[in-house]
Chain A
Amino acid sequence: MSNKTSKLFYLLLVLLPFSVLAQEEDESKWEVNGYLKNLQSASLIQVPNFITGQSELVILSNNLIHNRLNFSRSLGSKMVFKSSLRNRFLYGDLDTPERMLEQFEGGNDFFDLSLEGSQTNWAAQTILDRFYLDIYLGDWEMSIGRQRINWGISTFWNSNDIFNAFNFTDFDYEERPGSDAFLLRKYIGFTSSIEFAIAAADDIKKLKAGFLYKFNLKNYDYQLLAGITENHLSLGGGWSGAIKKIGFKGEFNTFNDLSTSSEPFTGSFSMEFDYINKNALYFGFGVLYNSLGQTDTNILNLLDFDISARNLYPFKYTVFYSMNQSFNPIFSGGISFLYSPGPVHATFLSPNFNLSIAQNWDLAFFGQIVFDRQEKYSSPVQGFFLRLKYSF
């Protein structure tokens, strides 16, 4: 499809719910909801000055206006059409149109369902990140189109999420990307199912497809996965349950190159525990082993890391610890701490606060602070974000 045609195609898809909505005699059949957010960010970056040998502090400030519209329409009792439109307008200090546009990469899968534009100090994008039809036939379920196939279990690292892995540093993308795919699911019990999913690809080497078997045994949920992930045979699984009162879950996946037997085994394993005490203080603790990760790569890779189920994090070994406290029903705060042992001692610290300021209004603060040790322990980048959100 040429670029122009695909843009027209995109517009057509975006307008579809609106146009049908306008003609509909009974508008109540449509459900529309979403939000409007304003995200103000400040990035503090230590830029090395090679002449003086000192580093200089550069502060970049950006503002993102972010709107989301979710449409849903039942078509009889057996079908539901769902579509979500994500609109963003960013302006601020990033210096080139290309740099601005880079902010909006990702989210598109096989089809290009987006429109972008940018100038030196602004960039805008509208993208359909969901556009699919759910079909229910007894114990069978089918989903066709751009959808989120969520096979992951863990909080941070989902090696079973072979269709649309997400980067947890992208905290503002609450819905996470979708995938142009077909999914078929058969429920075989109250809590068990078999699923098959395949994502659109124009090259067999880029194909992602897999089976997932979910079942429940002795108060544990389990899953087993077998599939093809970009020319790798992928075999994995996961679990979710509890040891006494402590939540215990994890997942693993192995990837074997189908075209060469010389590539060493790749895979990852993550495991975590969580607990909430009587005073609503939440604790989470977990580990990740990622065979494709490095031990000495730069910490800055974390913030624009090209994530996939095969490579979930820039580092090989990582531990996380997180805490969250509800101070009262409208105010909560927490902190996550990730540390990767190795020569650079990569550390990621992320505090957050959320305040419900009125029935549908939320004010949130997020911080992303990275530390590493090149010569001495320092923090080359700190990001701070203030977000106002109105949900409707």
Chain B
Amino acid sequence: MKYIPILALIFGLSGTFPNTLEAQTLSSKEIIKKVENTMRGNSNFSEIKMTIIRPDWSREMTMKSWAKGEKYALIQVTGPARDKGTMFLKRENELWNWQPRINKTIKMPPSMLTQSWMGSDFSNDDLVRQSSFVNDFTHERLPDEKVEGRDCYVIMMTPKEGVPVVWGSIKFWVDKKEFIQMKSEFYDEDEYLVSTIAFSEIKTMAGRPIPTVLTVTPADDEENKTIIEYLNLEFDKQYEDSFFTIQNMKRIK
């Protein structure tokens, strides 16, 4: 099973970028760059609710996250009660976990990173993702389409040779006006659709239009879904690198 890199989503995929350029002048690569700049450029704080839905049951989980670009992140699990207080710290390509009940900091093995994140249809692979959607992929512009009534660029991205990416290709729908991602489809090396992320419930948060709900649907089982909902989102917080430390992992509220 392949999972969508969750932390790309948590750490700011939903960020948007005020557009000043004429749309016509943008190449596919520039469009992705605008989306990625917002993904990576800012520090942000968010509160997220994740719901895993299966035909017979569903489970909810809530968390807070502090992130600076792609390199640094702190995640605090705030629910369910069983896992409350569990922390994750990411610094560059290293990841730690703190279990408050036994007061133990555990350095997570690299193989843990490709796992489903907290049992969802996401993985935390992206924590150590070194690849860039701009530089490590080739971009092909497809005919424009409408998603949820919005005009979108459609861009097919294929990883360049030797880039360690689990996907064969990724198809992006980007809103022409706001540069919000509206939909992504992830394909494997044999060009089979693996999963789809739909972005919806566009609301103004932190003064910007933000798709506040992300729905991941695996292609082979459409009854299974993982929904991520932004409860709160703050951009342009200035966090020092020293905010993302073992020390702060234990103290942050």
Interface residues of A (CB under 8 A from B): 33, 35, 70, 74, 136, 139, 141, 147-150, 152, 174-176, 187, 190-191, 193, 216, 219, 221, 240-242, 244-247, 249, 274-280, 326, 328-330, 356, 359-360, 362, 389, 391-392
Which residues of A have CB within 8 Å of B120?
329
Query: Contact at A176–B102, with CB atoms within 8 Å?
Result: yes
Are the C-beta atoms of A33 and B81 separated by less than 8 Å?
yes
- Asked if A187 meets B1 with Cβ closer than 8 Å, knowing A280-B115, A391-B80, the reply is no
Residues of B with C-beta under 8 A to A240: 106-107
CA distance A141 to B251 in the complex (A): 10
Contact across chains for B119 and A360 when beta carbons are under 8 A apart? no
Q: Give complex CA distance A278, B64 in Å.
A: 27
Most chain B CB inside 10 Å of its own CB: which residue of A191, A274, A330, A360? A191
**Of B101, B109, B247, B251, the contact of A247 (CB 8 Å cutoff):** B109
Q: List 10 A-B contacts (CB under 8 A).
A: A136-B251, A152-B104, A174-B102, A187-B245, A191-B245, A240-B107, A249-B107, A326-B119, A329-B120, A330-B119
Q: Is B129 part of the contact surface with A, judged by Cβ < 8 Å?
A: no
Point out the residues of chain A lying under 8 angstroms from B245, CB to CB.
Answer: 187, 190-191
A280 surroundings in chain B (CB, below 8 A):
115-116
Check: B41 CB closer than 8 A to any chain A CB: no
Q: How far is the CA of A359 from the CA of B112 in the complex (A)?
A: 24
Which residues of chain B have C-beta atoms less than 8 A from A245's C-beta?
Answer: 109-111
Assess A329 versus B81: contact at CB under 8 Å? Given A149-B103, A245-B110.
no
A interface: dominant SS = strand
Q: Which residues of B contact A (CB under 8 A)?
A: 1, 52, 54, 57, 59-60, 80-82, 84, 91, 93-94, 96, 101-104, 106-112, 114-116, 118-120, 241-242, 244-247, 251, 253
A249 CA / B102 CA spacing, docked (Å):
19
Chain A nearest CB from B18 CB (Å) reads 33
Nearest neighbor of A149 in chain B, beta-carbon distance? B103
Contact status of A276 and B251, CB under 8 A, knowing A176-B102, A191-B246, A330-B119: no
B104 neighbours in A (Cβ, 8 Å): 150, 152
Inter-subunit contact B102/A392 (CB<8 Å)? no
Q: Is the interface of B mostly helix, strand, loop or mixed?
A: mixed
Closest Cβ of chain A to B78, distance in Å, is 11
Taken together as a complex, chains A and B put the C-alpha atoms of A391 and B112 apart, in Å, by 26
* Distance in Å: Cβ of B91 to nearest Cβ of chain A: 6
**Are A277 and B103 neighbours in the complex by a CB distance under 8 Å?**
no
Interchain CB contact under 8 A, B82 and A362: yes
Q: Which residues of B contact A219 (CB under 8 A)?
A: 93-94
A221 CA / B98 CA spacing, docked (Å): 14
Residues of B within 8 A of A149 (CB): 103
Complex partner residue of A147 from B103, B112, B115, B251, CB under 8 angstroms:
B103
Are the C-beta atoms of A360 and B109 separated by less than 8 Å?
no
Most buried by B among A175, A176, A359: A359
Nearest-CB distance from A362 to chain B (Å)? Answer: 7
Please, how many angstroms separate the alpha-carbon atoms of A240 and B110 in the complex?
11
Complex CA gap A244/B84 in Å reads 31
Q: How far is the CB of B177 from chain A (nearest CB, A)?
A: 37
Contacts of A176 in B (CB 8 A): 102
Contact across chains for B59 and A359 when beta carbons are under 8 A apart = yes
B111→A247 contact, CB < 8 A? yes
Are B247 and A150 closer than 8 Å at their CB atoms?
no
**Smallest CB–CB gap between B182 and chain A, Å?**
27
Residues on the A chain within 8 Å of B54, using CB: 328-329
With a cutoff of 8 Å between Cβ atoms, the chain A residues found around residue B244 in the complex are 190
Q: Would you call B246 and A356 a contact (CB within 8 A)? A: no
Which chain A residue has the least Cβ–Cβ distance from B102?
A176
Residues of B contacting A187 in the complex (Cβ-Cβ under 8 angstroms): 245-247
- Cα A275 to Cα B103 in complex, Å, equals 23
Residue of A nearest to B57 (CB): A330
